[in-house]
Amino acid sequence: MSKEQFIKNDTAKSNLAILFDCPLALSEVARVMEYGAKKYDRKNWSKCDQFERYESASLRHQMSYHNSDHIDDESNLHHLAHAVCSQLFLLEMELQNIKQKEEK
């Protein structure tokens, strides 16, 4: 192997840049997270140990969207972005729980 050949052992790693294929959606979800951080505190969501609260929040926003109400009255942000945000919180909490169990 020559010194001039580029080597990067990242083939087994996630291509996080693929998330940028949805820039508008990511921006709206980020706005929801910023709104929540200002309203409650950054990472306040991670202190909740009742997953059902985020399941319910996600479903409420999905129901609003399903009923043709696309913008949340309080935040003035898209209901689907709120729903995705709640789903991200759920997934993060679930994955952290799995990781903690594996580390024991």
Positive or negative CA dihedral for 23, 25, 29, 34?
positive
What residue segments make up the domains of the chain, in order of their start?
22-103
Q: What one-character DSSP code corresponds to residue 67?
A: T
Q: If DSSP codes are grouped into helix, strand and coil, which group holds residue 28?
A: helix
Q: Taking residues 40-54, what's their average pLDDT?
A: 94
**Which ranges of the chain does DSSP label H, i.e. alpha helix?**
23-39, 51-66, 79-103
- Say whether pLDDT at 24 is over 80: yes
Tens-place pLDDT, residues 50-97: 999 999 999 999 999 999 999 999 999 999 999 999 999 999 999 999
pLDDT value of position 104: 82
Q: How many CA atoms lie within 13 A of 29 on its CB side?
A: 16
Question: Structure pTM?
Answer: 0.87
